[in-house]
Structure 1
Amino acid sequence: MDADGPLTPLRFTPILKRLIWGGRRLASKLHKDLGPEDDYAESWELSDHRHGQSEVAEGPFAGSTLHDLVIRRGPELLGEAVGLRKQFPLLVKFLDAHQVLSVQVHPDDEQGRRLADDNGKTEAWVVIDAEPGSRIYSGLKPGVDRSRFAEALRTGRIEEVLHAFEPRAGDCIFIPAGTVHAIGAGVLLTEVQQMSDATFRVDDWGRVGPDGAPRTLHQAEALEVTDYERGPVDPVRSRLDMIDGGTQEHLIRCPYFALDRYVLTGPTRIGDPQQGRFTALIGLGGKVKVSHEGQSYPVELGQTLLLPAVIGACPIEPSGEGEAIVLTCTVP
């Protein structure tokens, strides 16, 4: 490891999480190297959390953790616009919901510190694949207040108060802290969120864990942190701009992250030309190659590449047949 060398585009080893609702599509669709089990649920691509530390997979910084780089090379990695941090601000992951996830809600920053010893958790999803008839549960139905929500929890009729829709590949769903939600069976997606693992389980559909006992619920915390004013949440409506090499779709801008989707048929540049902030690049379809200092860095469906702020904007172009789709995330 050459900790003093110039930063380059960084690829990290995925952190694989096995959970009761997982399956095998992280391998069959996203080409992750899984073990023989059939419950692989999440691939943490970028993580600086106590529940998982990403390590650089290749190159001069191989073996360094993301946290090492934040502490030792923070200004170059994060950028002046992001400022000094003790933790990388975003967690990037892929999720395979072979079974429906529990109904959940996440705290905001103050609630996260007080109730979970963690950051708050605002997140966004981009659907990669959705089986016919699958569901996304996002937000409460109109008019559902705390008392009606509490009654639904008490009587086990939570689905009756949840807004739901059938997702399609390409849908982007924004889930601010306080939004009750669940990902239904048959959905494969990428998630960008605050660096946090704070989750309050509202309901688990009557399911039991591997030990045969019901999994722990956190209903008191959920009642406290739920935003009863938010109402139903549907896929975002976004603005599409023509750029050199294709299109740029501005999906989400919030205090914690900015997401853009690029559909590329030719060369362009991606990253912050002012070197003010990092950019994480997530492959959603086709293949691209990113170029920097004479080196080529391929990215395809299911792969993630981190562009440190100091390298600025990098040339990128499709490297296979047809168009390529990439998602970028950074902080605003």
Structure 2
Amino acid sequence: MQPLKFKPIFMKRIWGGNALKTRYGFNIPDGDKIGELWCISDNRTAVSEVEGGSFDGIKLNELAKNYKDELYGEGKSYDRFPLLIKIIDANDKLSVQVHPDDDYAYKHENGDLGKTEMWYIIDAKPGAKLVCGLKEGTTKQQFKTLLDEGILEDCLNEVEVNPGDVIYIPSGMVHAIGDGILICEIQQNSDLTYRVYDYNRVDDNGNKRELHIDKALDVIDFNLKSDKIVPEYKKIEGGSIAKVVDSKYFKTDVIVVDSSLNIETNGTFNTLVVVDGECKLSYDNDTMHLKSGESMLVSASIDKYTVTGNCRLIRSYV
């Protein structure tokens, strides 16, 4: 199975901006608040469609069903493609939210998956901050009181971030993305979000977004907080690599390509997002071009591929 490119899926969000157009050149109408680009998705909300090549026009869920050994590796199987890959443009701050774990989601959300995720900071304005958990000692009752008084910020653990930083967000951790941040997000294939606090914002029709306070209080781990991960790069032939996340749900590396770099799949699929620069991906006698902002899915049936150019990649796999 050749490496797969997909048609971009754009999601309008109340907090979105135009960075996907200005930075990456996507054809987006002026004035549209695009908050998310779903790069690779087999989610119930939206399923990616192959663009180009011999599988042109085929949906990812169809490929996963009909070519699971080629895609995942022999003997491996998932109900749906296990990862959801996004680029998030937070022109304004996102809601304060939390995601359930698999057990809670299965019981309360019609058998859906929970959501553990990570963020790679592509760009951030000076002083930009994220919320990663709660201040030490915050209790459930204190949290509810501050929420009722509209001053939830008093208990949130804020972290200032810079381009290149990584944040790991396990299920149960309260979190929020601040304004002026562009992120590559790797997550479980789930779109379950419990909003706790949304700054009393309204949409274009004057409607507030739904909150999910009761469910959020069920799943919040009040002891969870995290700090940013500053990747530590190891020099390899043709570039450098930093292994930033190693969880049971996914593993993620940040790869910097300086010239030409060989990558082994190790018998599993690889997702690639080009967050900066551009490159060519070669396997056997075929070559495919990837521009900044584009992504690709390399199947387990390809043992090794070569990336040539000058770029920064986010690689994820299970």
TM-score class, shorter-chain normalisation, is over 0.9
Task: Tell me how far apart the structure 2 counterparts of residues 33 and 270 of structure 1 sit (CA, whole Å).
Answer: 31
Task: Tell me how far apart the structure 2 counterparts of residues 30 and 115 of structure 1 sit (CA, whole Å).
Answer: 38
Deviation per residue, 1:34-80 (Å, 9 max, x gap): 12333111010110011001000111101111100111001110124
Q: Which runs of 5+ in 1 are unaligned?
A: 1-6
Task: Tell me how far apart the structure 1 counterparts of residues 255 and 15 of structure 2 sit (CA, whole Å).
Answer: 30
Taking only the aligned residue pairs, the percentage that are identical comes to 37
Q: Which position in structure 1 is the counterpart of 2:314?
A: 327
- The alignment partner of 2:64 has SS state of helix
1:187-198 alignment, distance < 5 Å: 187-198=181-192
Report the CA distance between 1:111 and its aligned residue.
1.1
1:102-141 alignment, distance < 5 Å: 102-117=95-110, 118-141=112-135
Give the count of matched residue pairs.
317
Contact 1:271/1:278 (8 A) holds in 2: no
Moved more, 158-167 or 109-118: 109-118
Q: Which position in structure 2 is the counterpart of 1:3?
A: none
- The alignment partner of 1:309 has SS state of coil
Report the CA distance between 1:214 and its aligned residue.
2.0
Q: Which position in structure 2 is the counterpart of 1:279?
A: 270
Q: Paired residue for 2:77, among 84, 87, 111?
A: 84
Q: Which position in structure 1 is the counterpart of 2:171?
A: 177
Report the CA distance between 1:238 and its aligned residue.
4.2
Task: Tell me how far apart the structure 2 counterparts of residues 255 and 80 of structure 1 sit (CA, whole Å).
Answer: 20
Q: Which position in structure 1 is the counterpart of 2:215?
A: 221
Q: Paired residue for 2:281, among 290, 298, 320?
A: 290
Contact 1:100/1:185 (8 A) holds in 2: yes
Contact 1:257/1:330 (8 A) holds in 2: yes
- The alignment partner of 1:149 has SS state of helix
Moved more, 161-170 or 204-213: 204-213
Deviation per residue, 1:147-171 (Å, 9 max, x gap): 1111121111111111112210011
Task: Tell me how far apart the structure 2 counterparts of residues 124 and 219 of structure 1 sit (CA, whole Å).
Answer: 23
1:254 counterpart = 2:227: no
- The alignment partner of 1:326 has SS state of strand
Contact 1:280/1:306 (8 A) holds in 2: yes
Moved more, 161-170 or 186-195: 161-170
Instruction: Look up the equivalent residue of 2:50 and give its one-letter code.
Output: V
1:304 counterpart = 2:295: yes
Report the CA distance between 1:239 and its aligned residue.
4.2
Report the CA distance between 1:264 and its aligned residue.
1.6
Report the CA distance between 1:206 and its aligned residue.
1.7
Q: Which position in structure 1 is the counterpart of 2:61?
A: 67
Q: Which position in structure 2 is the counterpart of 1:21?
A: 15
Deviation per residue, 1:56-111 (Å, 9 max, x gap): 01111011111001110011101247x11120000001010111111110000011
What's the C-alpha RMSD, in Å, of the aligned pairs? 1.3
Contact 1:290/1:316 (8 A) holds in 2: yes
Task: Tell me how far apart the structure 1 counterparts of residues 15 and 311 of structure 2 sit (CA, whole Å).
Answer: 30
Instruction: Look up the equivalent residue of 1:97 and give its one-letter code.
Output: A
Q: Which runs of 5+ in 2 are unaligned?
A: none
Task: Tell me how far apart the structure 2 counterparts of residues 168 and 30 of structure 1 sit (CA, whole Å).
Answer: 19
Task: Tell me how far apart the structure 2 counterparts of residues 53 and 324 of structure 1 sit (CA, whole Å).
Answer: 27
Report the CA distance between 1:216 and its aligned residue.
1.2
